[in-house]
Structure 1
Amino acid sequence: MPGIPPPARALLWRQLRIHQVYGANTEVGKTVFTTLLSKAARKFWPREETVFLKPVSTGPADDADDRFAPEIESKTLFQYNLAVSPHLAAQVSKREASRNSGWLFVETAGGVHSPSPSGTTQADLYMPLRLPVVLVGDSKLGGISQTISAFESLKIRGYDVEMVLLFKEDQYQNHLYLTEYFEQKHGIPVKTVPEPPHRVADPKSDAQAMSQYYDTGSASPVLHKTLQHLEARHESRIARLESMSTTASQKIWYPFTQQKHLTPSKITVIDSAHGDHFQTLVPQPTNTNPATTTLPGTAALLQPSFDASASWWTQGLGHANPSLALAAAHAAGRYGHVMFAEAVHEPALALAETLLRGMRNPRLARAFFSDNGSTGTEVALKMALRAARVRYGWAGDGERAGVLGLQGSYHGDTIGAMDCSEPGVFNEKVEWYEGRGYWFAGPTVWRTSAEAWEVVLPGEMAGDGGQERFASLDDVFDVEAREARGEHQAYERFILTRLEKLAAEGRRFGALMIEPVVLGAGGMLLVDPLFQRTLVKAVRQNPHLFSGGGALAEPDATVDDQTWSGLPVIFDEVFTGLYRLGRFSAASFLGVDADISVHAKLLTGGLVPLSMTLASESIFRAFESDDKSDALLHGHSYTAHAVGCQVALESVREMQRMEAQGDWAWAAAAPEGANQELTAEHNKSKLTWSVWSPEFVRWLGQLSETSFMAGAWALGSVLAIKLTSVDGTEGYKGGAARAVQAALLQGSEGGDETRWNVHTRVLGNTLYLMTGQKTDQESVRGLESLLRETLTQASRDAQQA
């Protein structure tokens, strides 16, 4: 992919032991210790190469402490003659870390949080490299605090601190306390060496003293044991990584997986994650041809894998986001977990206020906390059913109410949430499943040609009028203009005919529950927003169809005019909400407000599980009573856990800041029309946008004109591609997307420094990819390039077959 740089990668080779030397502060002896380690490696491993790498060095080059060890290969990428923090140069070059045998010590500049040349702190800059750390402690006054603080900063960013080294100093004796602290509390060895000789005025004498110090110190048993420990930890890390897939296949029961066919080779081993990428173990090559097989030990063991399912729809602000990690640590340190019934803490209250305000839905007034999207939808269902029973007076007749929804909807895997979905592959073999409801067949939207978007009507609705092709996705989502043209009328007739038939049959319903705009687990179905808008309006405007034939109960007069009508409307925004589709709330595309809405996934940026169910005051009042048993008796031990609430608050506020600052302007500004002139006025009037380029989506539409693809769509961060099934199998059991998924996992061609792949999930014949909300334009274009190559080849293979 010309012009697309490879993503940052973790560095791990079998025969190259790489360690990063961090200092608890400046002037703690990082260079001295790194030189000692390098000289000791040369002494005790004389046949192997040792390199001392300084990505950035400050102060005069001829004044550096490593100048007294000329036999050590030392490389400095950026040298600054003034002893100040380096703010203005580029990141560390990974090419210097490409050696294949021996030792490589990478010394950082300043302390853990000293700024790098890019302005990023050292601790944040080097996170993607995932290098094990040797921490040089501070032996001076105040050094105990500095050392522990540095360790905690590294720990919270996912670094493995393998060893603590510091000078043995008689006045403060910091090493005594730090040895007990690290070895007993964290199992990290602490080693000390004598302080280097004080500098003298005579350069020759000074050089002789330091050279003698390095020669003596590097030969000491302390340094030998230090290196042996680092080597053992290196080998242990590799051995564990290489055994994990086999052990996992024997001990773990995986979700959504038929494990009869899951061999260890199909299990992805993830060593770490950063930004948009996993760092995954490279599968061992099966090619045994010496001419084409890399020699053992010389190939990189890890590669970047773009997380194209956004870690199953939760990752929004990048893996290992320091701000979210700090928020979690702060709440854990301040609260741990505290019970929430009849109590409140700041993270929960602030989150409730922020989410209610951000929704801009005048109906929503109350926030209920639960642990994940599935239980969040069950809470919503309990709320809606109670409100409907109180309004319509069902008590005592024993008949159960169902829900109205859409075919292809899915609201979670717990038993109650399953019952809100039509019978299908997810629930048909669950013994307690009892689908309770009626699910409308809905029209879906696809890019099926280079020129147009198509609204594909279900068979029972085909031929009932309405425009079916549109020049742009904006035209599809301009629901008010379409409604003014009367395009909703065919939908309205279709919906009312079925609602009247259900009422005549005596069917009882307690809620309308839909996923606004996109049905996720049902196959990434982009539903015509006009249909969903019409469905909500039809339910609200026809309460007589849900009263069971009796007199209509009057809404509570003490509640304002935002009270629900017909049925309580639940929007399940677990997948589609919080900027997934480019807006804070997916409901805003429909121009109608929910009475209850459910939020999870991106709520916490992918760090911890948490869900919130928001409800109107009208719904809330249905539970008011002097009898406690009438309360909403739902909760779990970790309700509104402070860690989750604090992380969610940070996540939501950060995405709101990104929107306000125009961080997605590069995507939102792209015109969809091939020859459309880009103007500021056009940008203001856009209804939809996507990180996926219009040109690429047009190309997918063109490919959809062949028998290989059925269609595609892109909105916000999501791209869905529906491939044509050769054997006619549709739905979740279809396998048309598997070959493309495997090709993306195979990844790009290239050597150790350029190889990367894409980790995806499929839903039957539909391959989907999604980015995080912080994914940059360059990364998306790289994905598009790899996708283009992969789909082109797959199309050729399909034609030949």
Structure 2
Amino acid sequence: MKNLSERDQKYLWHPLTQHQTAAPRLGIVKAKDALIWDEDGNSYIDGIASWYTAMYGHCNSYITDAITAQMKQLDFVMFSGFTHEPAIKLSEQLIEILPSNQRKIFFNDNGSTAIEAGIKMALQYHHNLGERRDTLIAFENGFHGDTFGAMSASGLSSYNGPFEDFLLKVERIPVPQEDTIDEVLSKLDYILNNNSCAAFVFEPLVQGAAGMKFHSAKGLDALIQKCQENNVITIADEVMTGFGKTGKNFASDYLINNPDIICLSKALTAAMFPLSITSCSQKVYDAFLSESVAKGFFHAHTFSAHPIGCTAALAGLELLNSDDIVERRAYIEKAHQRFVLQIEKHPKVKEARSFGVILAIDLTVEGNRYGSFRDMLYDFYMSEGVNLRPLGNTIYVLPPFVITNEQLERVYNVIERSLEIV
């Protein structure tokens, strides 16, 4: 019998992979807490929580018990014409912790489609009010997903290149830093005055795919205020930042001005189920209320509000602010801060930074997002039993909240040793 890696190559097409040159995929057979195991019995610390999803650890028994019970009672029912307890309860609990202006919950199935729904809501909001607005505003180097609306808002050519001629109209601004707020506001003013702007789409405070780049909460607040003064719908992409990763429930909690729309996925269901949410303010929702059916939001996903996914999310919410998880979040945050102080003076380190449980290290050595340098680092980490996925010359760590102190120290140690080979 061939192993998983060999069998994989016959039929499977993997994401973010050039199969002409890529090594065979590693067969994974088991996961628990902060560890994953391959088919040869080797274990790896999941230093990025499998793309920031398994924040409460893999195969968390509290969550698996909850979804097992749910699938024995109600596996699935379509969400058009029907409703059910898990969806209602999840909406009630999310509204309790989301920024105070959020009033309605719309279900999708992944991060890209959460953004896609948010963009469509914004465009139709203006249409329903009798205006035609055709321009999105977005940050340079942002990333929001791979469907066409989400891709339009994204600004990374490595993902968008072949599709640039087919995207929505987007005007881009730099992320604001403390010393560039006035400059960015001036650019935003120019865009607002020379375009018919429908929405501002942004990753609040942390640009993930750009290399875990941080920006100013004060500056973002000013941009949101300026957009809202011009009735431009503000859309916060909390797909990566949501659910405790920045130290608060949501990165938007650091802001004074609440976004009109918030998009959630990834850690929403603790990696147990593909589900996402686009929440919105009463103002946005009210623009879709009409005697005319055509003014309704005719956007749907077959598996919207899947009861099993909603149940996984509810169990995750119970854990999010539990004493044990809050304690672990605080420990990781302080440990990251200590490691930044320890490593930031290394001659191979250009910048080291942390925010909540997010740690990022930019190296002085240049490297492409996907290329030999990045692959060399990735292979080294895997050979040392640590799953990290560098973004070009940026090494980042975003571990499960349940990672042990010893495992976290091992991650730090492996990163330090990797600096000797670059």
TM-score, normalization by structure 2:
0.93
* Alpha-carbon displacement from aligned partner over 1:141-179 (angstroms, at most 9, x marks no partner): xxxxxxxxxxxxxxxxxxxxxxxxxxxxxxxxxxxxxxx
Preserved contact between residue 212 and residue 360 of structure 2 (Cα < 8 Å): yes
- Counterpart of 1:491 in structure 2 is 181
Please say if 1:426 is aligned against 2:186. no
Give me the whole-angstrom Cα distance separating, in 2, the residues matched to 1:569 and 1:631. 20
Stretches of 4+ moved more than 6 A in 1? none
Please say if 1:585 is aligned against 2:323. no
Give matches, 1:129-168, under 5 Å: none
SS of 2:345's equivalent in the other structure is helix
- Counterpart of 2:268 in structure 1 is 603
Please say if 1:314 is aligned against 2:53. yes
Q: Which residue of 143, 155, 172 maps to 1:410?
A: 143
Please say if 1:778 is aligned against 2:406. yes
Q: Which residue of 282, 300, 305 maps to 1:640?
A: 305
Preserved contact between residue 658 and residue 664 of structure 1 (Cα < 8 Å): no
Number of positions where the alignment pairs a residue of Structure 1 with one of Structure 2: 422
- Counterpart of 1:137 in structure 2 is none
Give matches, 1:157-196, under 5 Å: none
Please say if 1:651 is aligned against 2:316. yes
Please say if 1:371 is aligned against 2:129. no
With over 3 angstroms needed to count, the CA separation of the structure-2 counterparts of 1:378 and 1:710, relative to structure 1, is same
Give me the whole-angstrom Cα distance separating, in 1, the residues matched to 2:233 and 2:324. 31
TM-score, normalization by structure 1:
0.50
Give me the whole-angstrom Cα distance separating, in 2, the residues matched to 1:783 and 1:413. 30
User: Which amino acid is 2:376 matched to?
Assistant: A
Give me the whole-angstrom Cα distance separating, in 1, the residues matched to 2:238 and 2:350. 27
Preserved contact between residue 174 and residue 184 of structure 2 (Cα < 8 Å): no
User: Which amino acid is 1:256 matched to?
Assistant: L
- Counterpart of 1:552 in structure 2 is none
Give matches, 1:277-316, under 5 Å: 277-281=35-39, 301-316=40-55
Give me the whole-angstrom Cα distance separating, in 1, the residues matched to 2:54 and 2:105. 23
SS of 2:210's equivalent in the other structure is coil
Q: Which residue of 225, 228, 231 maps to 1:540?
A: 228
- Counterpart of 1:761 in structure 2 is 389
- Counterpart of 1:171 in structure 2 is none
Preserved contact between residue 316 and residue 773 of structure 1 (Cα < 8 Å): yes
- Counterpart of 2:259 in structure 1 is 594
- Counterpart of 1:269 in structure 2 is 27
Deviation, 1:691, is: 5.0
SS of 1:763's equivalent in the other structure is coil
Deviation, 1:374, is: 0.6
Deviation, 1:362, is: 2.1
With over 3 angstroms needed to count, the CA separation of the structure-2 counterparts of 1:659 and 1:357, relative to structure 1, is farther
* Alpha-carbon displacement from aligned partner over 1:501-550 (angstroms, at most 9, x marks no partner): 33453x11101111111111222211232321221122234x2xxxxxxx
* Alpha-carbon displacement from aligned partner over 1:478-501 (angstroms, at most 9, x marks no partner): xxxxxxxxxxxx513x23432343
Please say if 1:339 is aligned against 2:72. no
Q: Which residue of 695, 698, 712 maps to 2:352?
A: 712
- Counterpart of 1:745 in structure 2 is 382
Aligned-residue Cα RMSD (Å) equals 2.1
With over 3 angstroms needed to count, the CA separation of the structure-2 counterparts of 1:766 and 1:607, relative to structure 1, is same
With over 3 angstroms needed to count, the CA separation of the structure-2 counterparts of 1:740 and 1:374, relative to structure 1, is same
SS of 2:157's equivalent in the other structure is coil
- Counterpart of 2:125 in structure 1 is 387
Give me the whole-angstrom Cα distance separating, in 2, the residues matched to 1:327 and 1:652. 12
Deviation, 1:663, is: 4.5
With over 3 angstroms needed to count, the CA separation of the structure-2 counterparts of 1:495 and 1:790, relative to structure 1, is closer
Greater C-alpha Rg? 1
- Counterpart of 2:341 in structure 1 is 698
SS of 2:69's equivalent in the other structure is helix
Runs (5+) with no aligned partner, structure 1: 1-238, 282-300, 445-454, 456-465, 467-489, 544-565, 668-689, 748-756
Higher RCO (C-alpha 8 Å, min separation 6):
2
Runs (5+) with no aligned partner, structure 2: none
* Alpha-carbon displacement from aligned partner over 1:389-432 (angstroms, at most 9, x marks no partner): 444x325xxxx512111111111111121112236121111376
User: Which amino acid is 1:304 matched to?
Assistant: S
- Counterpart of 1:3 in structure 2 is none
SS of 2:201's equivalent in the other structure is strand
With over 3 angstroms needed to count, the CA separation of the structure-2 counterparts of 1:694 and 1:569, relative to structure 1, is same
Preserved contact between residue 47 and residue 411 of structure 2 (Cα < 8 Å): no
Please say if 1:255 is aligned against 2:18. no
Deviation, 1:773, is: 1.7
Deviation, 1:718, is: 1.8
* Alpha-carbon displacement from aligned partner over 1:68-115 (angstroms, at most 9, x marks no partner): xxxxxxxxxxxxxxxxxxxxxxxxxxxxxxxxxxxxxxxxxxxxxxxx
Deviation, 1:639, is: 0.8
